[in-house]
């Protein structure tokens, strides 16, 4: 559960960095925007990979709860 929270937090930080980079680009220099843009993408992707790894681990360990439907057709 902890890695899922860390993954979500990194995704939020990555999106926040992208927004700050957008504001930086509008009001400031283009280099700051570029650094925040690239940094935000890297942070977001890292968080997404952590979350995907957590989901893969916990979905493969959980028993399948599918309901089989018996049709007489």
Number of structural domains (the chain) is 1
Please state, in angstroms and as integers, the Cα–Cα distance from residue 4 to each residue in 8, 54, 58, 62, 64, following that order. 6, 6, 11, 16, 21
Q: Determine, yes or no, domain membership for 63.
A: no
Q: Determine, yes or no, domain membership for 73.
A: no
The pLDDT assigned to 10 comes to 94
Q: Determine, yes or no, domain membership for 29.
A: yes
Contact criterion met (CB below 8 Å) for 40 and 21: yes
Q: Determine, yes or no, domain membership for 66.
A: no
Q: Determine, yes or no, domain membership for 71.
A: no
Q: Which of 1, 4, 17, 2 lies closest to 47 in space, CA to CA?
A: 4
Q: Is 36 exposed, middle or buried (0-12, 13-18, 19+ CB in 10 A)?
A: buried
pTM above 0.95, yes or no: no
Range of the domain at 40: 2-57
The pLDDT assigned to 57 comes to 84
pLDDT digits (tens, 9 = 90+) for 53-73: 888 887 766 555 566 666 665
Q: Measured in whole angstroms, how far is the alpha carbon of residue 13 from the centre of its chain? A: 10
Q: Determine, yes or no, domain membership for 70.
A: no
């Amino acid at each position: 559960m902890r890695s899922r929270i860390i993954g979500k937090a990194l995704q939020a930080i990555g999106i926040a960095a992208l927004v700050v980079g957008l504001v930086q680009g509008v009001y400031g220099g283009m280099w700051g925007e570029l650094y925040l843009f690239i940094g935000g993408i890297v942070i977001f992707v890292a968080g997404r990979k952590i979350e995907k790894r957590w989901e893969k681990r916990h979905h493969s360990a959980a028993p399948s709860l599918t309901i089989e439907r018996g049709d007489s057709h």
